[in-house]
């Protein structure tokens, strides 16, 4: 009986604090932004590499993942 109560309590509480999560979240958010930038946008006025090779290489992924292209 008491074991059942312990089990039910265990599922209720949060498993990590926001402070513990924050540095990971910042890093993952930056990583996602970089990936979305290179897959989805790296072209034209927003281009940082200039050559357009990355833009062309992931061209089909950009269309099929729903990013605007051409």
Partner 1 sequence: MVRALLVRGMLVGLAAGVLAFAFAFVFGEPQLQAAIEFEDLRAAGAGEPGQAEPIGRSAQRTIGLLTGTVALGVAFGGLFALGFAYAYGRIGLPGARLTAACLALAAFATITLVPFTKYPANPPAVGGGGESIDQRTLLAFAMIAITACALVAAVRLHMQLTRRLRAWDAALVATGVFVAVIVVAQLILPAGDEAPPGFPADVLYHFRLASLGTSATLWLTIGLGFGVAAERLLPPRARHARG
Q: Which residues bind Zn ion (CB under 5 A)?
A: 69-70
Rounded to an integer, what distance in angstroms lies between the CA atom of residue 66 and that of residue 35? 14
DSSP 1-52: -HHHHHHHHHHHS-SS-HHHHHHHHHHHHHHHHHHHHHHHT-SGGG-SS-S-
Q: Which residue is nearest to Zn ion (CB)?
A: 69
The count of other CB atoms within 10 Å of the CB of residue 2 is 6
How near is the Cβ of 66 to Zn ion at its closest, in Å?
12
Segment 9-68, which members bind partner 1 (CB under 8 A)? 10-16, 18, 20-21, 24-25, 28-29, 31-32, 35-36, 38-41, 43-46, 51-53, 56-68
Binding site for partner 1 (CB under 8 A): 6-8, 10-16, 18, 20-21, 24-25, 28-29, 31-32, 35-36, 38-41, 43-46, 51-53, 56-70
């Amino acid at each position: 009986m008491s074991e059942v109560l312990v089990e039910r309590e265990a599922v209720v509480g949060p498993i990590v604090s926001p402070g513990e999560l924050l540095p990971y979240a910042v890093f993952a958010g930056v990583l996602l932004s970089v990936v979305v930038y290179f897959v989805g946008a790296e072209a034209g006025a927003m281009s940082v590499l200039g050559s357009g090779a990355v833009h062309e290489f992931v061209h089909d992924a950009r269309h099929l993942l729903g990013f605007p292209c051409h």
